[in-house]
Structure 1
Amino acid sequence: MGSHAYTPPRARGPWWTSLYVQVLAAIAVGALIGHFWPQTGVALKPLGDAFIKLVKMVIAPVIFLTIVTGIAGMRDIGEVGRVVLKALGYFLVVSTFALIVGLVVANIVQPGTGLNIDPASLDAGAVATYAEKAHDTTVVGFLLNVIPNTPASAFAEGEILQVLFFSVVFGLALALVGDRGQPLLDVLNATSAAFFRLVGILMRAAPVGAFGAFAFTIGKYGVGAIANLALLVGTFYVTAALFVVVVLGLIALANGFSIFKLLRYLREELLLVLGTSSSEAALPSLINKMERAGASKSVVGLVVPTGYSFNLDGTNIYMTLAALFIAQALNIHLSWEEQALLLGVAMLSSKGAAGVTGSGFITLAATLSVVPSVPVAGMALILGVDRFMSECRSITNFIGNAVATLVVARWEGELDRERLDAALNGRLPTDPEPLADDPSVTPETA
Structure 2
Amino acid sequence: MNIPTPNSSDKPKKSTFKVIITNVTFWVLIAIIAGILLGHFSPENGMKMEIVGKTFVDIIKLFIGPIIFLTIVLGISGMGNLKKVGRIGVKALGYFEIVSTIALAIGVTIAYVFKPGKIDKTGLALQDASQYTNHAAENFSWLQFFLSNFTLQVLLAAIVCGIALNFYRKREQTILVLERFSKVVFTGLKYVMYLAPIGAFGGMAYTIGKFGLQTLIPLGKLMLCVYLTMILFVFLILGSILKYYKISIVSILKYIKEELLLVLGTSSSEAALPSIMVKLERMGCSKSVVGLVIPTGYSFNLDGTSIYLSMSVIFLAQLYDVHLSFFEILSVIGILMITSKGAAGVTGSGFIVLASTLTAIHKIPVEGLAFLLGVDKFMSEARAITNLIGNTVATIVISKSEHDFTELNLEPVVEG
TM-score (norm 2): 0.92
Q: Provide the rounded CA distance (Å) in 1 between the counterparts of 2:355 and 2:12.
A: 51
Q: 2:24 aligns to what?
A: 19
Distance 1:139 1:86, change over 3 A: farther
Amino acid at match of 1:265: Y
Single out whichever of 355-364 and 388-397 deviates more from structure 2.
355-364
Q: Provide the rounded CA distance (Å) in 2 between the counterparts of 1:82 and 1:429.
A: 32
Local SS of the residue matching 1:361: helix
Distance 1:280 1:10, change over 3 A: farther
Q: 1:172 aligns with which of 158, 163, 167?
A: 163
Listed as ranges, the gaps of 5+ residues in structure 1 are 1-6, 147-156, 433-446
1:126 aligns with 2:139: no
Local SS of the residue matching 1:73: helix
Q: 1:149 aligns to what?
A: none
Q: 2:89 aligns to what?
A: 84
What's the % identity of the aligned pairs? 45
Q: 1:280 aligns with which of 253, 270, 277?
A: 270
Shift of 1:96: 0.7
Deviations 1:130-189 (A, max 9, x none): 4433444445665xx37xxxxxxxxxx8711111111111111112225x2211211111
Deviations 1:245-266 (A, max 9, x none): 1111001111231111111011
Q: 1:431 aligns to what?
A: 415
8 Å contact kept, 2:137–2:355: yes
Deviations 1:7-59 (A, max 9, x none): 99995653111011010000001100000011010011111011001100111
Distance 1:286 1:22, change over 3 A: same
Shift of 1:64: 1.1
Query: How many residues end up aligned between the 2 structures?
Result: 405
Q: 1:186 aligns to what?
A: 176
TM-score (norm 1): 0.86
Single out whichever of 272-281 and 346-355 deviates more from structure 2.
346-355
Listed as ranges, the gaps of 5+ residues in structure 2 are 1-7
Q: Provide the rounded CA distance (Å) in 2 between the counterparts of 1:307 and 1:68.
A: 16
Single out whichever of 337-346 and 129-138 deviates more from structure 2.
129-138
8 Å contact kept, 1:131–1:362: no
Q: Provide the rounded CA distance (Å) in 2 between the counterparts of 1:238 and 1:160.
A: 29
Deviations 1:52-74 (A, max 9, x none): 01100111011111111122111
Distance 1:289 1:182, change over 3 A: same
Distance 1:28 1:320, change over 3 A: same
Q: 1:98 aligns to what?
A: 103
Distance 1:197 1:191, change over 3 A: same
Distance 1:10 1:364, change over 3 A: farther
Amino acid at match of 1:174: L
Single out whichever of 231-240 and 322-331 deviates more from structure 2.
322-331
Q: 2:73 aligns with which of 68, 71, 79?
A: 68
Local SS of the residue matching 2:340: helix
Q: 2:117 aligns with which of 112, 115, 140?
A: 112
Amino acid at match of 2:278: N
1:159 aligns with 2:150: yes
Q: 2:305 aligns to what?
A: 315
Q: Provide the rounded CA distance (Å) in 2 between the counterparts of 1:158 and 1:337.
A: 32
Deviations 1:225-278 (A, max 9, x none): 110111000111011111101111001111231111111011010011010001
